[in-house]
Structure 1
């Protein structure tokens, strides 16, 4: 009878073979790993330590506890925070993977989907997307931030680039939020909480409620040459907002607030 890790391996290989066959030699788990696993309540936690050597797999049993999981019991409500805690406790790299499977295997498809989404970003086949909300008059300012964020490796959603002619505005904006890990609101004296901007605030809050820690609402307040300061919309006042002294400080605030870590520094 196959072990839990063998079942995960087999089913995940099928997914990668179908979607990304050209990456199979380097894709996490598929290209080789060592396994650390153990039971915790009604779940089995499997840590796949990336090795890149598919010819040999070393297996070790781990004792999971409150100290290395952060909880007394795992549930569907806290499973993602447990995953983050396990990654931290075992000092895992971005090529390592954590799968938390119910004993009956009922959440296997969900866990495999999470693995796939995580690895798509790690392998660079998909980039983290950031939504930029702004008033049209501030487009020149926002374009500069877009260029900087793209240099940092992000896929930036800006209406003039993201929506081809003929796209329904509400539908295009909604999809932009669904595809993003963060929304940045550029609150200048031009920004008024009305029309599509009001819609964007509502969409951002909905995404935050749905994705939790996987989505950030980042509000930056700017002043104009006359000293007028942008007014933060009421619904955004419940989230932390910043008034950066300059563009460099604004970029720093964005990077700190994002729900992701930037990649390891290495030679090109």
Structure 2
């Protein structure tokens, strides 16, 4: 690797260290990439592509240049802002990057703050720091329907929040519900003909909107509308601006939840 490229990659890590320091100062010594990494640098046109392989060993490091990547590997003729994330996913698969690794793509003299934010989000997820709870809002009479979704989400590693399971005896209901939202990355509303925007369900709608305002892209509001015997629920007006689907089956409904979540399901590994 040329001295200029090494200087550039080290500068990126220094900036990333400052970003981590702001969010997780107590964990910085063991943070992915910062605590030790191997580095590879590639190019595509004017774009720099820096791959960090986490090692946890800051003493022994390997730095190398890959050179220009062919369009056939990238899957596009030119990298643009609109296809950058698509290219990123292609390269992560091609180079078999693990969750603790990282990839940064940028143009010369470009502000890379958005790239560092993506890298931070990736590592927070890998280290279990991103809330994986999903709040399941429903009418009690629909508990059977919701339990099937809860079981499927648990298989994928999520921690679905279901009132009767999540709250121990003696917990004040309103406070328990609010805590559930605070710990969640999404709220799924199961709207059937029984669903009414009132009492505790009304509170859950309000809490979900408050979490969305607070967490922005890190929180999703997902509404599934179910039809039974020709009757379907009515989406509350406050939920209508968000993801709203009418699945024809539970499988389709589950797929819509996974697509709308603010996190990606992890890489597949052998058991």
Report the TM-score when normalising by structure 1: 0.68
The residue aligned with 1:144 is: 148
Q: Which position in structure 2 is the counterpart of 1:40?
A: none
- SS of aligned partner of 2:188: strand
Contact residue 47 and residue 96 of structure 1 kept, 8 A:
no
Inter-partner Cα distance in structure 2 for 1:144 and 1:122 = 27
- Asked if structure 2 preserves the Cα contact closer than 8 Å seen for 1:127 and 1:154, the reply is no
CA RMSD of aligned residues (A): 4.2
Q: Report the Cα offset of residue 250 of structure 1.
A: 0.8
The alignment partner of 2:269 has SS state of: coil
What SS is found at the alignment partner of 1:142? helix
Deviation track 1:71-103 (CA, whole Å, cap 9, x = no partner) reads 9xxxxxxxxxx9x6995697584433479xxxx
Cα offset, 1:10, TM superposition = 6.7
- State how 1:48-87 maps to structure 2 within 5 Å: 49-52=52-55, 54=57, 55-58=60-63, 70=81
Counterpart contact for 1:129–1:155, Cα < 8 Å: yes
| Aligned counterparts of 2:234 and 2:100: Cα–Cα separation in 1 | 42
Structure 1 gaps, min length 5: 37-44, 61-66, 72-81, 100-106
Structure 1 CA distance for aligned equivalents of residues 24 and 242 of structure 2: 38
Contact 2:40 2:52 in 1 (8 A): yes
2:133 aligns with 129
What does 1:1-20 correspond to in 2, within 5 Å? 4-5=11-12, 7=14
Gaps of 5+ in 2: 1-9, 42-47, 66-77, 105-112
- Give the equivalent residue in structure 2 for 1:239: 242
- Which of 34, 37, 41 is 2:39 aligned to? 34
Q: Counterpart in 2 of 1:181?
A: 185
Alignment correspondent of 2:123: 119
Matched, 1:259 2:262: yes
Match of 2:215 among 192, 198, 211: 211
What displacement does 1:153 show?
1.2
